[in-house]
Amino acid sequence: MPELPEVETVRRGLIPAMEDQIIARAQVNRPDLRWPFPENMAERLTGKRVLRLRRRSKYILADLDSGETALIHLGMSGRMLVSGDPLGQFVHDHPATEKHDHVVLDMDNGARITFNDPRRFGAMDLFATDGADTHPLLASIGPEPLGNSFDEPYLVAALAHRNTPMKAALLDQKTVAGLGNIYVCEALFRSKIHPTRPARKVSKDRLSRLVPVIREVLRDAIEAGGSSLRDFRQADGELGYFQHSFDVYGREGAPCRTPGCNSTIRRIVQSGRSTFYCPTCQR
């Protein structure tokens, strides 16, 4: 499932084609994805101007001039692809409609935005913009890791009494927004924190150092266009490249990249998910 860097990469790719543009025609080709689409979604989108594209955790939010916000969740295999952009930033012409093109937005600037989702675990919703903070999918999400409210004192306080393993604590979206399996593994490696160590037993100094490391990992991944492991594509259809920079994720049995370390990367399973770490560097 796309994590914060992948979603942020898609959002940035959509901005030139969508932001401050009018949706000339919205086409909805099925009644649902993971959940039913909101009532009259095509009609509520058609003719509306996209005022701003923003991101909250792993969700893209398009604020419209109608006072509503469109929420887009990519799920496991969802893609937001752009074609026909008149600014010349995307080289693809409008392709023929495919089986899994579930929502198509034709913009008044000539761009087309296609939400393609073969597995249909993605979602879209429409709700009043001023009610975003109470939306069921957004209400309990923690601070954005690249935002000012995610800082050293916050993380220390949030984990002070948590007996859950560090990896599980960081995957909890109530603790911090948008982190997923890949980037938690990478951040814990860079911070030299063992993924199974109880969160409350990690010292304040180590937690304080973890905050800038999380930001560094996310920024590196965004700069590389995210990670393409199976289905992820950027808005122009290109792959992300951060997977070529993984220190631990997916590298079971490979040598640790820390200079002077002779260990190999190990894999364990935590809560049904693979965790990759170095048994020597991470304590």
Residues carrying an active site annotation: 2-3, 58, 273
The answer to whether residues 22 and 97 touch, using CB atoms and an 8 Å cutoff, is: no
Counting beta carbons within 10 angstroms of the beta carbon of residue 177, is it exposed (0 to 12), middle (13 to 18) or buried (19 or more)? buried
The interaxial angle of helices 204-223 and 4-18, nearest 10 deg, is 40
Using alpha carbons, select from 192, 213, 181, 250 the residue that is nearest to residue 6.
181
CA distance 107 to 17: 8
Counting beta carbons within 10 angstroms of the beta carbon of residue 47, is it exposed (0 to 12), middle (13 to 18) or buried (19 or more)? middle
H or E element that contains 275: strand 273-277
SS3 content of the chain, % helix, strand, coil (to 5): 30, 25, 50
Counting beta carbons within 10 angstroms of the beta carbon of residue 269, is it exposed (0 to 12), middle (13 to 18) or buried (19 or more)? exposed
